[in-house]
Chain A
Amino acid sequence: MATEAAYPGDDPDRLLSNTRELAQRVRKDQRATWFPLLVFALLTFASIPVRRYSGHHLDCLAVPRVCTVYSDAEFVYWPIALVLAYVAIAAFYIRRSRARGVGTRVRPYAIAGIIIAVALTGVALWEVHNPPVHPLGPNGLAYHLASPGAAIGLALLVLAWAERNRALLLLTLAYLAAVLVPITFGWVQPNPPWYVYPAVFQGSVLLLGGIGFALAQRPLRSPAP
């Protein structure tokens, strides 16, 4: 094998462009974006029966007429599911990194994901007892921000930064828009099938994104040594 194949010359322009090319190649080898997206799509779809078959509370304020519907099971399901998901994602990235021989940038993502999940669960619990008075105002936005979907989306922003992945950044922004501006404008009917629509929609965005990244990243995968 010849050194010249990788480095055609000492010309500064070529050295710099080769440096950029090598950096991009390493970044592509480090990415496994499809895995967290598919994991979160699975968790989102699995949350539908959790919500459907668990008990609900419906708390309404008389003036103004604002109702909050929530399920106790979701407050147990989501924090546990999210923490386990981040552990599984970190384990997957580390295992893949060892097989490929190139380090991973998953640590800040997993740590940020767990912190965001725990923090937003706390905020959501607080909001159950202090519902927003104006659902479409700033308080309403905070209401949607304290949701599992927003926890997933905010952590995905960290992954997009860690992986220097513009495509993931765009997908995450679209996903966060789907979470923060829900098709029901946040006022989900307590009866089925209305409340499942946001979960189906958000899960579908994650699923399609995961499939797209899996297809895009597939040719870049090199066989394990």
Chain B
Amino acid sequence: MTRHPANGLDDTVHQRVRLGILTIAHQARRVEFSYLRNNLELTAGNLSQHLGVLESAGLITIEKGYAGKRARTWVTLTKAGQTALAEEIAQLKLLISQIERAGTAPG
């Protein structure tokens, strides 16, 4: 019996906002808190919660600093984060192809 691709989805990564954070961090390499907040249309509190979950899972690192007098928070994807994102995308593609095959199957 083959394993259903939905079982391969990691709850930490599969959550839609966290998947968005990982995607942006992957493309950007290093991304600022306000950029994530604006692009994901989140409140600061909500974004902080999701960043906390990803940091605890070791998928991102958070670095706080200053640019002039402005406090800045930078997010960087870890190696584990890159792997988790790649696996999530692969599982999603697999899931879609299985749904499509089931939709075209006779009976």
Instruction: Answer whether residue B104 sits at the interface, using C-beta atoms and an 8 A cutoff.
Output: no
Report which of B33, B34, B35, B93 forms a contact with A16, defined as CB distance below 8 A. B93
Report which of B20, B43, B67 forms a contact with A22, defined as CB distance below 8 A. B20
Give the residues from 26 to 55 in chain B that come closer than 8 angstroms, CB to CB, to chain A: 26-35, 38-43, 46
Report which of B19, B40, B46 forms a contact with A15, defined as CB distance below 8 A. B19
* Binary contact track A101-118/B, C-beta < 8 Å → 1, others 0: 111110000000000000
Instruction: Answer whether residue B80 sits at the interface, using C-beta atoms and an 8 A cutoff.
Output: no
Interface range for A: 20 to 34
Report which of B19, B32, B67 forms a contact with A19, defined as CB distance below 8 A. B19
Q: Is the CB of A225 within 8 A of B34?
A: yes
**Nearest chain B CB to A123 CB, angstrom units:** 33
Q: Is the CB of A1 within 8 A of B31?
A: no
DSSP class of B's interface residues: helix, strand, loop or mixed?
helix
Q: Is the CB of A3 within 8 A of B31?
A: no
Instruction: Answer whether residue B62 sits at the interface, using C-beta atoms and an 8 A cutoff.
Output: no
Look across to chain B and name the residue whose beta carbon is closest to the beta carbon of A107: B29
**Nearest chain A CB to B62 CB, angstrom units:** 14
Give the residues from 1 to 42 in chain B that come closer than 8 angstroms, CB to CB, to chain A: 14, 16-17, 19-20, 23-24, 26-35, 38-42
Within 8 Å CB of B93, what residues of A? 16
Report which of B31, B42, B72, B99 forms a contact with A102, defined as CB distance below 8 A. B31
Contact surface of A with B, Cβ cutoff 8 Å: 1-3, 5-7, 9-10, 12-13, 15-16, 18-19, 22-23, 25-27, 30, 98, 100-105, 222, 225
Contact surface of B with A, Cβ cutoff 8 Å: 14, 16-17, 19-20, 23-24, 26-35, 38-43, 46, 67, 72, 89, 92-93, 95-96, 99
